[in-house]
Amino acid sequence: MARYLANTNTKEIHDLEANISSDKRALCELDKIKPEHKKDVYTEGEVDLLIKNEGYDGCKHCLPEYHTD
């Protein structure tokens, strides 16, 4: 199973294993990502590459260390 989920439409990456409250998790709106926009990301190295090479950003709620907006 993937550790991260990238939204190819918004270019936002979510940490599926983040230890955050359910209220904060709801702000990620993971259930609103259309299946065709979901991209499984398995490692932190892949996250780094998506951010550096493809313009992705970390979710401010579950992956704040990679959030830049």
Report helix, strand or coil for 35: helix
Distance CA 38, CA 23 (A): 22
Phi, psi of 3 (to 5 degrees): -85, -35
Give residue 10's pLDDT: 97
SS3 63: coil
Q: Residue 53: what pLDDT?
A: 98
Q: Residue 50 has what pLDDT?
A: 98
Digits of tens for pLDDT over the chain (69 positions)?
Answer: 899 999 999 999 999 999 999 998 999 999 899 999 999 999 999 999 999 999 999 999 999 999 987
pTM for this model (two decimals): 0.93
- Measured from the Cβ of residue 44, the count of other Cβ atoms closer than 10 Å reads 13
